[in-house]
């Protein structure tokens, strides 16, 4: 529920909000009273005109009677609304404000342990309405209108949008635990409405066909291709660092390249065929140009 960048208000901030709300309510009260006075004056005016019309003027009298009834209905509605409102809003003491600030500081904890019914009650208390401003296949842009009148723009990521984010972050070389953290900071939730975890990212990536095995396979395949082109380990390392594919857990290093070369001499790696025997000597040179034993 809470924004990842949200911080609870201090006592002074809470009191300022309460005072601003009180002033707004006072202005609304004055506006309602003024509107009611105008409605009452209009009723008196129309009633006087109605009584002054000669009964023989049937159409005029009927028209005034209809206008008078409409004015009386509006007056009654305004009276009813005025009776349901508290003049100046609810009066809160400093102790009440302190209690509100204290509860706000525990809002995330309260939300975490609340039942679905309790969460609905919390939302009904603070939300006025939510308006969809734009929708795509990847996200939904919402305008959240709070009870106090504040409007907050929120982007809700849809399942396809989550897939795109995971694919993008994996391509950037982000580890799964960091991807999960980034998604949580963006307010993304799992399908069940819970927190996105590393396991959530792994499962989604597997369904997308971008599991780490595929990521590693692209790197190993590129190494094999470069060896067959006659590139030295130094050249292979430079090519991988400059043009990729990205290494998942860390940047490409000399030791990483040599480890994959060693594995490719022994047999298939992540489905990539081993190096032909005639090319085994190619990768025996060190990345610094020195000769290394092939064994």
pTM (2 d.p.):
0.35
Are 177 and 165 in contact, with CB atoms under 8 Å apart?
Answer: no
pLDDT higher at 48 or 9? 48
Does 99 fall in a domain?
Answer: yes
Rg (CA), the chain: 35
19 and 92 part of one domain: yes
55 and 133 part of one domain: no
Q: What tokens does 192 get?
A: 């069940």
Structural domain count, the chain: 4
150 and 167 part of one domain: no
Does 293 fall in a domain?
Answer: no
Does 269 fall in a domain?
Answer: yes
Local confidence band at 6 (pLDDT 50, 70, 90 cut-offs): low
Section 204-213 average pLDDT: 66
| Residue that finishes a domain, picked among 52, 80, 113 | 113
- Count CB-CB contacts under 10 A for residue 179: 23
Does 294 fall in a domain?
Answer: no
| Residue that finishes a domain, picked among 113, 140, 169 | 113
**Structural domain of residue 123, as residue ranges?**
115-157
Predicted confidence at residue 293, as pLDDT, reads: 35
Query: Which residues have C-beta within 8 Å of that of residue 126, sequence separation ≥ 6?
Result: 146, 147
122 and 219 part of one domain: no
Closest residue by Cα to residue 154 from 171, 121, 132, 169: 132
- Count CB-CB contacts under 10 A for residue 228: 12
On the question of pLDDT at 251 being above 80, the answer is no
Does 291 fall in a domain?
Answer: no
pLDDT in tens, 12-53: 877 787 787 778 878 888 888 899 999 999 999 999 999 999
Local confidence band at 163 (pLDDT 50, 70, 90 cut-offs): confident
107 and 5 part of one domain: yes
4 and 107 part of one domain: yes
Predicted confidence at residue 161, as pLDDT, reads: 65
15 and 46 part of one domain: yes
11 and 83 part of one domain: yes
Local confidence band at 295 (pLDDT 50, 70, 90 cut-offs): very low
How many alpha carbons lie under 13 Å from residue 160 in its C-beta half-sphere?
Answer: 6
235 and 174 part of one domain: no
Q: H or E element: which one contains 142? A: strand 139-146
- What is the β-pairing status of strands 151-157 and 127-135? unpaired
Predicted confidence at residue 250, as pLDDT, reads: 61
Report how far residue 180's alpha carbon sits from residue 193's, in angstroms, rounded to the nearest whole number.
14
150 burial level (CB within 10 Å; 0-12, 13-18, 19+): exposed
Report how far residue 98's alpha carbon sits from residue 9's, in angstroms, rounded to the nearest whole number.
10
Are 198 and 224 in contact, with CB atoms under 8 Å apart?
Answer: no
Percent of the chain's residues with pLDDT above 90 = 11
Report how far residue 1's alpha carbon sits from residue 178's, in angstroms, rounded to the nearest whole number.
21
Does 198 fall in a domain?
Answer: yes
Report how far residue 70's alpha carbon sits from residue 127's, in angstroms, rounded to the nearest whole number.
33
Does 295 fall in a domain?
Answer: no
Does 166 fall in a domain?
Answer: yes
């Amino acid at each position: 529920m809470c924004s990842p960048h949200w911080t609870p208000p201090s006592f002074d901030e809470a009191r300022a909000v309460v005072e601003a709300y009180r002033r707004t309510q006072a202005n609304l009260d004055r506006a309602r009273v003024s509107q009611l006075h105008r409605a009452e004056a209009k009723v008196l005016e129309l009633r006087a005109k109605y009584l002054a019309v000669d009964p023989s003027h049937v159409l005029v009298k009927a028209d005034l009677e209809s206008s008078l009834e409409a004015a009386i209905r509006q007056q009654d509605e305004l009276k009813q609304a005025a009776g349901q409102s508290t003049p100046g809003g609810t009066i809160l003491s400093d102790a009440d404000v302190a209690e509100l600030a204290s509860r706000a500081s525990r809002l995330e904890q309260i939300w975490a342990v609340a039942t679905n019914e309790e969460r609905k009650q919390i939302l009904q208390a603070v939300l006025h309405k939510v308006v969809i401003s734009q929708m795509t296949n990847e996200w939904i842009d919402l305008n959240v209108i709070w009870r106090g009148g504040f409007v907050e723009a929120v982007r809700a990521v849809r399942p396809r949008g989550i897939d795109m984010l995971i694919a993008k972050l994996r391509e950037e070389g982000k580890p799964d635990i960091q991807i999960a953290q980034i998604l949580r900071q963006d307010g993304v939730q799992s399908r069940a409405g819970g927190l996105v975890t590393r396991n959530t990212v792994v499962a989604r990536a597997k369904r997308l066909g971008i599991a780490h095995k595929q990521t590693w396979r692209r790197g190993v395949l590129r190494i094999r291709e470069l060896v067959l082109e006659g590139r030295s380990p130094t050249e292979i390392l430079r090519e991988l660092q400059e043009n990729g594919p990205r290494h998942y857990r860390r940047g490409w290093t000399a030791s990483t390249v040599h480890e994959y070369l060693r594995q490719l001499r022994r047999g298939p790696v992540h489905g990539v065929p081993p190096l032909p025997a005639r090319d085994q000597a190619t990768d025996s040179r060190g990345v610094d140009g020195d000769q290394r034993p092939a064994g």
